[in-house]
Amino acid sequence: MRTLNKKILQPVIILFSLFMLISCYDTDQDSDYAKWIWLLNNNCSGKINTTLTYVDLNGPSEIGASYASRDSCNIYVGSAYPSSAPYIYSISIATNDVTYNSIPRRISNSVIVGKYIWGTEGPATSGFSSIQKINKYTLEVVWSEDTIVNDGRAIAYDGQYVWIADRGAAQKLHRVNPTTHSIESYTGIVLAGARHMTFFGNYLWLTCNGSNAVVRIDPSDRTFTVVSSIPGAWGICYDDTHIIVAGSAGYICKIDPATAAIAQDTTLADCSWLCHCSFDGQYVWITDNTRDEVKIIDHDSLALVETKSALEQPLGCVYDGIHQWVTSQLNIRIEKMTLSL
């Protein structure tokens, strides 16, 4: 494939991005907008130059921000600790403007379903986690449930249902109808230490750091396959062909979604707790929570390309098509890293 002229592509990217940000149509985290930007960026052969912007949440939360989710217009993030005042924040991708609202229970992780933020709490302060459905325009809770999920940190949307996995002793997988709010719970699927979940290739993919494994789940019948020998399986994302998992002590792997076999893996030096990851079409960005760093990994070789300093205990990492957004457990501000072509 010929490399496209960077001078031609730059205005195309800018104009297309402006169009999408102005339109702000409802979409989930895996929008076609982001995929188009990935394709354009991949043909620019740019260096990893970034400009860093700090976005202060400016809310009353005492400490830190949780994992983040997004749509085509905004980044959504909740309070990080049980000691924090429970708030939900919305940050404009285009302007960095921040709005927030108090909510009954804190949010550890979330997904976007149409005009709603679906958030779940973990660790649960009362033994059970709250599921909260929040209007993303008003940031008001429109429905919640507080007695079924047990420390539910992992959450995903398959296009029909919201799925939540218990990290607590119950180790159940919960299926929530986003319209009727009916909940079905299943046992025998979730392994110890459920952390993150995503939907790709018609399967749910669940990392379980307590079991050093990833579970591939068919949402239609809940049949599952365990991919074992993944040390401290924690962060998860995907490219066009593989699931990408980041674990403890610098371990990274790609999983073939069709066979659930590890297709490629490596262990990076000078890494500790690889917490969350995000793919920008060329590089995998991974937060190292213990070292206060973000690792930038070459997607093809899984080799470390660059290490960037981050705020204390970086946690979530989400890509909006142009920027990487990195949250911090110990800061009520977010890092917005802009990739330069």
Q: What is the pLDDT of residues 48-88, one digit of tens each?
A: 566 788 898 876 655 678 899 999 999 999 886 666 678 89
Residue type, 44: C
Helix (H) or strand (E) holding 98: strand 98-102
With left for phi above 0 and alpha for psi between -120 and 50, is residue 114 left, alpha or beta?
left
pLDDT at 64: 75
Pairing assessment for the beta strands 173-176 and 183-186 based on DSSP bridges? antiparallel
pLDDT at 112: 98
Looking at domain 6-340, does it have CATH number 2.60.40.1120?
A: no
Asked if 127 and 137 touch (Cβ cutoff 8 Å), the reply is: no
Beta-strand ranges (E) seen in 107-177 are: 109-113, 116-120, 129-135, 141-149, 152-157, 162-166, 173-176
Q: What is the pLDDT of residues 233-286, one digit of tens each?
A: 999 999 999 999 999 889 999 999 999 999 999 999 988 889 899 999 999 999
Residues constituting the chain: 341
CA distance linking residue 340 with residue 338, whole number of Å: 6
23 DSSP assignment: H
Q: Which of 229, 227, 230, 205 is nearest to 217 (CA)?
A: 205
Residue 338 CA to its chain's centroid (Å): 18
* Two tokens, residue 231: 């040390």
- Could you tell me the residue ranges of all domains in the chain? 6-340
CA distance linking residue 250 with residue 266, whole number of Å: 8
Q: At 112, give phi and psi (nearest 5°).
A: -105, 130
Q: At what angle do helices 6-23 and 32-42 cross, to 10 degrees?
A: 170
Q: At 302, give phi and psi (nearest 5°).
A: 65, 20
Locus of tokens 């507080």: 146
CA distance linking residue 71 with residue 117, whole number of Å: 10
Tens digit of pLDDT at every position of the chain (341 positions): 333 344 444 554 455 455 544 555 444 444 443 333 333 333 333 445 667 888 988 766 556 788 999 999 999 998 866 666 788 999 999 999 999 999 988 888 999 999 999 999 866 555 667 899 999 999 999 999 988 988 888 999 999 999 999 987 889 999 999 999 999 999 999 999 999 999 999 999 999 999 999 999 999 999 999 999 999 999 999 999 999 999 988 999 999 999 999 999 999 998 888 989 999 999 999 999 999 999 999 999 999 999 999 988 998 999 999 999 999 888 878 999 976 54
188 CB contacts (<8 Å, ≥6 apart)?
Answer: none
- Look up the pTM and report it: 0.86
* Two tokens, residue 41: 């960026």
